Amino acid sequence: MATISPAVPAPAVRPPSTVRRALRYNWAGGGFGFLWLFLVMLPIYWIVITSLKTQGNYFVTNPLKPPADPTFDSYRLVIESDFARYFLNSVIVTAGAIVPAVAISFMAAYAIVRGAGSRLLKGMNAVFLMGLAIPLQAVIIPVYLIIIRLQMYDTLAAIILPSIAFAIPLSVLVLANFIRDVPKELFESMRMDGATEWGTLWRLAFPLTRPALVTVTIYNALGIWNGFLLPLVLTQSPEQRTIPLALWDFQGQFGVNVPAIAASVTLTTLPIVIMYAIGRRQLLSGLTAGFGK
Amino acid sequence: MTTLAPPVAGAHRPTTTSGRPSGPVVWMALPAFLMFLAFGVVPLLGVLALSFTTWDGIGGITPSGLTSWKATLSDPGLPHALWVTFLIMALSWLVQTPVSILIGVFLAAHKRYRGVLAVLYFIPLLLSSAAISITYKALLDPNFGIGTGLGLDVLNQDWLGDATLAMGVLIFVVSWQFIPFHSLIYQGGVRQIPASMYEAAQIDGAGRVRQFFSITLPQLKYTIITSSTLMVVGSLTFFDLIFVLTAGGPGDATRALALEMYQKGFQANLMGPASAIAVIIVLVGLLLAMVLRRLGGRADESQLEGA
């Protein structure tokens, strides 16, 4: 499958690269590359080492030197500050939104491809495409109003419902493009075997579309996991806080205890970094989901 | 191998590749459609409707004609927020585009060490805006932050306390967060430039710099437009980052449109004027997307938000 693989050097089929080799080694490029690496890694390095310092130590040691005696006290403090609950909330919101969002987007994408002649479906597809242009920020006030009227304010469901809706347009676009590439003969033979469209959807299209489903899932899951505005506007009590909001709150709560703030940032970021380490390629292709060339 | 955006890549057969459906399929699209209608389309119409009302966010909503619009358009906060938004948009574009192109070109070459670098380059993509803002806020502390660490007094500034510096920090943090994403787009774009073009240039004796300006840059035209559209339209809606990093301050130095809307609506409880600002955000976004699309000249391709 065509996956993006920036981390893996091209396979054996390189073009005869004598031409490229004829150029001098690109020192400027390499230097620039490492300079950028420094800029990217500096804050990350700093946040990790700071999280291992004691509060007293933070004010007297060089900010960029790792602590001589690393301590996990700050992590303990963060975990004792109800971290598990916020983490669980984020898991519930992300899973609760992503599973239905991808499932109904997949169904819609299938219908749009299979029922290509239908006016109704064309209209729906146009609405989804237009939806790509609606920024969540701009409609947050009516969304807030709707959530209040549904008596859902300050629940996790309040975050989940709009998250599902805003995952739909791009998911439908990407999945429909993918389903369109399934050979017509396969659908035809399913029909000959007497399969219903519902059966064909799950037994034929679903397995064949799996890479795109993974892509769409990752892209949206990351967005929902890191989402800030919806939890900020639609919830209020600490019990409903998701991780990004909890981080913001920790920052106020810990005040000058910078190592604790650093530990909270590190701890909330760790799960995604671990996932990145496991599924880097899917993740990166997921991030550019929907781009043409 | 290695094309960007796997799902869209590949040959697109024109229409009805899949033959006749064996039964009705329209119903399958309904759940997604209704969901999007309820939380996407209705709110879009709703925000327009709400901009003609007065509402404090808790009590009843009363229609009030043009009151909210008049209040919004005569508020000096609006032109200021528009100016700040424009400044963020222009400056972050100016910083991000050249750097992203260079990194994209750098990563497009198939070299092992660059592959390893790429893994690290993309880490900012994973982090929430809240985490990034909080990190920078602490890192830029005038007394215990980066300046002390590197022993450079120049870096010991009250970064977020000075209007100009705060704007600079904001642009830097935005770039830090989003350059990896745009590099990824450019990397894909560069890899699609036929190698034969470079070989021909080589034979003509063009050096690396010449090749960059004569081949790479012109060939990246559409990628630049796509990436720029995303940057420009996306910068209209910056919220989390500014909210956590500066909260619009110092004073109102970094109060962009989305933040202005949030503060009017959810802090000052003026939902009518806030809705009017939201309508302005949508309109400006559509206008910019249309202008950039015209520049691209490819009407068939949706270049809005992630498409």
pLDDT in tens, A96-129: 999 999 999 999 999 999 888 788 898 999 999 8
- Indicate whether A42 and A157 sit together in one domain: no
| pLDDT at A15 exceeding the cut of 70 | no
Name the DSSP letter for residue B8: T
User: What would you report as the CA-atom Rg of chain A, rounded to the nearest whole angstrom?
Assistant: 24
The gap from C-alpha A240 to its chain's centroid, in whole angstroms, comes to 20
pLDDT band at A231 (very low <50, low <70, confident <90, very high): very high
H/E stretch holding B62 reads strand B62-63
Nearest-Cα distance to chain A for B163, in Å, is 22
Contacts of A178 in chain B (CB under 8 A): 7
Rounded average pLDDT over A205-232 = 89
Number of Cβ within 10 Å of residue B196's Cβ equals 10
- Structural domain contains residue A6: no
Q: Which of B217, B236, B241, B242 is nearest to B286 (CA)?
A: B236
Contacts of B11 in chain A (CB under 8 A): 181
The reply to whether the predicted model has a pTM over 0.90 is no
**What pLDDT, on a 0 to 100 scale, did the predictor assign at position A23?**
59
Lowest average pLDDT, out of A227-236, A252-261, B293-302, goes to B293-302
Indicate which of A54, A127, A134 best probes the interface with B, i.e. most B CBs within 10 Å of its own CB. Answer: A134
Averaged pLDDT of chain A = 83
The number of distinct structural domains making up chain B is 1
- Mapped onto helix, strand or coil, the DSSP state of residue A133 is coil
| pLDDT at A43 exceeding the cut of 80 | yes
CB contact under 8 A, B275 and A141: yes
- Indicate whether A86 and A60 sit together in one domain: no
- For residue B62, the cross-strand partners are B54
Per-residue pLDDT reduced to its tens digit, A155-181:
999 999 999 999 999 899 889 988 888
- Structural domain contains residue B40: no
Measured over the CA atoms of residue B146, residue B151, residue B154 and residue B156, the dihedral's sign is positive
- Structural domain contains residue B241: yes
- Indicate whether A138 and A254 sit together in one domain: yes
- Mapped onto helix, strand or coil, the DSSP state of residue A249 is helix
Q: Which of A71, A98, A126 is the last residue of a domain?
A: A71
Q: Which of A71, A103, A128 is the last residue of a domain?
A: A71
Q: What is the largest CA-CA distance in chain B?
A: 74
CB of B111 closer than 8 Å to CB of A8 = no
The alpha helices in B204-239, defined as continuous H runs, are 208-211, 217-219, 221-235
Q: Which residues of B209-230 are buried (b: 16+ CB within 10 A; e: fewer)?
A: eebeeebbeeebebbbbbbbbb
Number of Cβ within 10 Å of residue A157's Cβ equals 15
Q: Specify the amino acid at residue A254.
A: F
The more confident residue out of B194 and A14 is B194
- Mapped onto helix, strand or coil, the DSSP state of residue B266 is helix
| pLDDT at A44 exceeding the cut of 50 | yes
- Structural domain contains residue A7: no
What percentage of chain A carries pLDDT values higher than 70?
A: 88
**What pLDDT, on a 0 to 100 scale, did the predictor assign at position A227?**
92
The number of distinct structural domains making up chain A is 2
- Structural domain contains residue B44: no
CB contact under 8 A, B187 and A6: yes
- Indicate whether A65 and A85 sit together in one domain: no
Give me B24's structure tokens: 């009705």
CB contact under 8 A, A63 and B144: yes
- Indicate whether A261 and A219 sit together in one domain: yes
- Structural domain contains residue B45: no
CATH code of residue B291: 1.10.3720.10
Nearest-Cα distance to chain A for B86, in Å, is 17
Interatomic CA distance for residues B29 and B36, integer angstroms: 11
Name the residue with tokens 């505005």.
A229
CB of B248 closer than 8 Å to CB of B163 = no
Q: Is B221 left (phi over 0), alpha (psi -120 to 50) or beta?
A: alpha
Query: What does the H/E/C string look like for A132-166?
Result: CCCCHHHHHHHHHHHHHHCCCCCCHHHHHHHHHHH
- Structural domain contains residue B284: yes
The more confident residue out of A31 and A22 is A31
CB contact under 8 A, A181 and B17: yes
- Indicate whether A46 and A97 sit together in one domain: no
- Indicate whether A45 and A139 sit together in one domain: no
**What pLDDT, on a 0 to 100 scale, did the predictor assign at position A287?**
64
Q: Which of A238, A251, A246 is nearest to B134 (CA)?
A: A251
Q: Specify the amino acid at residue A256.
A: V
* B244 in A contact zone (CB under 8 Å): yes
**What pLDDT, on a 0 to 100 scale, did the predictor assign at position A291?**
54
CB of B234 closer than 8 Å to CB of B305 = yes
Contacts of A19 in chain B (CB under 8 A): 198-199, 202
Q: Which of B174, B166, B290, B161 is nearest to B241 (CA)?
A: B174
- Structural domain contains residue A231: yes
**What pLDDT, on a 0 to 100 scale, did the predictor assign at position A19?**
46
Among chain A residues, the shortest Cα distance to B197 is held by: A19
- Host domain of residue B268: 67-296
The more confident residue out of A122 and A279 is A122
pLDDT band at A13 (very low <50, low <70, confident <90, very high): very low
CB of A134 closer than 8 Å to CB of B42 = no
**What pLDDT, on a 0 to 100 scale, did the predictor assign at position B156?**
73
**Residues near B76 by Cβ (< 8 Å), separated by ≥ 6?**
none
* B74 in A contact zone (CB under 8 Å): no
- Structural domain contains residue A151: yes
CATH code of residue A154: 1.10.3720.10
φ, ψ for residue B221, nearest 5 deg: -50, -50
Interatomic CA distance for residues A288 and B7, integer angstroms: 10
* B242 in A contact zone (CB under 8 Å): no
- Got the DSSP string for A186-218? HHHHHHHTT--HHHHIIIIIHHHTHHHHHHHHH
- Indicate whether A281 and A196 sit together in one domain: yes
**Residues near B53 by Cβ (< 8 Å), separated by ≥ 6?**
B61, B62, B63, B64, B68, B271, B272, B275
Rounded average pLDDT over A60-67 = 78
Strands (E), B180-273: none
φ, ψ for residue A71, nearest 5 deg: -130, 150
Indicate which of B36, B186, B192, B242 best probes the interface with A, i.e. most A CBs within 10 Å of its own CB. Answer: B36
CB contact under 8 A, B258 and A137: yes
Q: For the purposes of burial, counting CB atoms within 10 Å of the CB of A286, is it exposed (0-12), middle (13-18) or buried (19 or more)?
A: buried
pLDDT band at A255 (very low <50, low <70, confident <90, very high): confident
The gap from C-alpha A4 to its chain's centroid, in whole angstroms, comes to 17
| pLDDT at A76 exceeding the cut of 60 | yes
**What pLDDT, on a 0 to 100 scale, did the predictor assign at position A288?**
64
**What pLDDT, on a 0 to 100 scale, did the predictor assign at position A279?**
74
Number of Cβ within 10 Å of residue B75's Cβ equals 17
**What pLDDT, on a 0 to 100 scale, did the predictor assign at position A188?**
83
Nearest-Cα distance to chain B for A47, in Å, is 7
**What pLDDT, on a 0 to 100 scale, did the predictor assign at position A24?**
65
- Structural domain contains residue A98: yes
- Indicate whether A43 and A153 sit together in one domain: no
- Structural domain contains residue B139: yes
Among chain B residues, the shortest Cα distance to A194 is held by: B22
Residues in chain A: 293
H/E stretch holding B53 reads strand B53-54
- Indicate whether A112 and A39 sit together in one domain: no
Of B22, B38, B106, Cβ closest to residue A196: B22
Is-cis flag, bond preceding B194, omega within 30? no
CB contact under 8 A, A138 and B285: yes
**What pLDDT, on a 0 to 100 scale, did the predictor assign at position A7?**
42
CB contact under 8 A, B281 and A139: no
Among chain A residues, the shortest Cα distance to B17 is held by: A184
Indicate which of A1, A46, A137 best probes the interface with B, i.e. most B CBs within 10 Å of its own CB. Answer: A137
The list of chain B residues with pLDDT below 50 reads 1-18, 299-307
Among chain B residues, the shortest Cα distance to A246 is held by: B130
- Indicate whether A207 and A117 sit together in one domain: yes
- Structural domain contains residue B25: no
CB contact under 8 A, B5 and A293: yes
The more confident residue out of A1 and B59 is B59
Interatomic CA distance for residues B43 and A137, integer angstroms: 11
pLDDT band at A209 (very low <50, low <70, confident <90, very high): confident
- Structural domain contains residue A14: no
| pLDDT at A78 exceeding the cut of 70 | yes
Interatomic CA distance for residues B44 and A136, integer angstroms: 10
Kindly give the pairing relationship between strand B53-54 and strand B62-63: antiparallel
- Structural domain contains residue A140: yes
H/E stretch holding A248 reads helix A243-254
- Structural domain contains residue A292: no
pLDDT band at A286 (very low <50, low <70, confident <90, very high): low
Is-cis flag, bond preceding A66, omega within 30? no
- Host domain of residue A52: 27-71
- Indicate whether A142 and A114 sit together in one domain: yes
